[in-house]
Amino acid sequence: MPIKIDSKEAALKFIEDHDTFLFDCDGVLWRGNTPLTHSADTLKLLRSKGKQIVFVTNNSTKSRKQYVNKFTKLGIDAKADEIFGSAYSSAVYLDKMGTFDKENKKVLVIGESGLEEELHEAGFKTLGGADPALNRDFGPEVEKYAIRDESIGAVVCGLDLKINYLKIAYAQANLRDPRVTFLATNVDSTFPATDMILPGAGTVIKSVSFCSGREPDATLGKPSKAMMDCILEKFKLDPKRTVMVGDRLNTDMKFGANSGLDTLFVLTGVDKVEEANKFGVDPTYYADKLGDIFELLE
């Protein structure tokens, strides 16, 4: 059973035992567009004690730069360098694979502008993404997209609110060539919006995957170990002094546990501490909310 952080002593020890704090965002720092009580204050407290902070999000629609705006709007200090999203993670992964011919090959992006932006920053040339030429019905004049384009060396898929048949056909036609790398930013089945649940990135991945007869060569995003490896390497972290904070058992908690990190489970999301067994995870700590740490030490 996880240790509950409900005393000043527990909160102090939690802070002392770790140098780096990885944070899931939605359900931990905010819900939808509402900041959660004292989350921002807890982050400030950690910073004042010289702790390192990294924000880890599966949202692939925004680049790190775009994500900073969201933090600012919600009154939370964050630098682009502290944010680790699945779009950035995909770009880093493709780069590290070392087999992609950046000079002569392009990446087909099925996803939004954030994903494109991260790939461009990493030096990749892209096709697809937010290109308005793809926002149209399938028909004779766009059939060319359903034919293999030899300039494409990888297909990277993420959440795309403008997904359509043409884009699926475009991805499929190129994925039929086994030499083309297939990356998925994440495979979340849904994501919570204000008052509703919406289809997640996994919806796009599953359709592309099914018609092309291929599974992604790698899936970034929590809980994948590929993403954690990218984080640990980029920030040169000691896993023993790092803790993952999140509200989801099967993504955040599994993500931390899979790499031997301590984990803090907060109850401001949909999951309950009693459900931990169901997902085969055992968080190190839990708290009613992240803001409790600030409140206990105030």
Residue corresponding to tokens 């692939």: 60
| Residue 211 interacts with a copy of itself (CB under 8 A): yes or no | yes
Q: Which is nearer to a copy of itself, 40 or 204 (CB)?
A: 204
| Residue 133 interacts with a copy of itself (CB under 8 A): yes or no | no
| Residue 275 interacts with a copy of itself (CB under 8 A): yes or no | no
Q: Which is nearer to a copy of itself, 80 or 161 (CB)?
A: 161
Residue window 89-128: x/- pattern of binding to a copy of itself, with contact defined by CB under 8 A: ----------------------------------------
Q: Is 149 annotated as a binding residue?
A: no
H or E stretch covering 287: strand 285-287
| Residue 33 interacts with a copy of itself (CB under 8 A): yes or no | no
Catalytic residue status for 24 = yes
Burial (CB < 10 A; 0-12, 13-18, 19+), residue 29, is: buried
Q: Which is nearer to a copy of itself, 133 or 197 (CB)?
A: 197
Q: Out of 19, 26, 77, 160, pick the active-site residue.
A: 26
Q: Segment contacting a copy of itself (CB under 8 A): 46-54, 91-99, 132-140, 225-233? A: 132-140
Least CB distance from residue 112 to a copy of itself, whole Å? 11
Q: Segment contacting a copy of itself (CB under 8 A): 48-56, 114-122, 169-177, 244-252? A: 169-177
H or E stretch covering 296: helix 292-297
How far apart CA 243 and CA 245 sit, in angstroms, is 6
Q: Out of 19, 24, 288, 292, pick the active-site residue.
A: 24
| Residue 162 interacts with a copy of itself (CB under 8 A): yes or no | yes
Residue pair 115/60 in contact by the 8 Å Cβ criterion: yes
3-state secondary structure 185-243: CCCCCEEEECCEEEECHHHHHHHHHHHHCCCCCEECCCCCHHHHHHHHHHCCCCHHHEE
Least CB distance from residue 151 to a copy of itself, whole Å? 18
3-class secondary structure, 265: strand
**Type of residue numbered 189:** S
Q: Is 222 annotated as a binding residue?
A: yes
What number of CA atoms fall less than 13 Å from residue 198's CA on the CB side?
A: 13
Q: Which two tokens stand for residue 184?
A: 């998925």
Could you tell me whether strands 190-193 and 196-199 are parallel, antiparallel, or unpaired per DSSP bridges? antiparallel
How far apart CA 221 and CA 184 sit, in angstroms, is 8
Residue corresponding to tokens 């499929």: 172
Q: Pick one of 36, 91, 204, 261: the residue that binds a copy of itself (CB under 8 A).
A: 204
**Type of residue numbered 210:** F
Q: Which is nearer to a copy of itself, 29 or 175 (CB)?
A: 175
Q: Is 247 annotated as a binding residue?
A: yes
| Residue 279 interacts with a copy of itself (CB under 8 A): yes or no | no
Binding site, by residue number, is 24, 26, 222, 247
Give residues in contact with a copy of itself (CB under 8 A).
Answer: 135, 137-138, 143, 146-147, 160-165, 168-169, 172-173, 176, 189-190, 193, 195-200, 202-204, 206-211, 213
Q: Please state the residue numbers annotated as binding site for substrate.
A: 222
- Positions annotated as catalytic residues are 24, 26
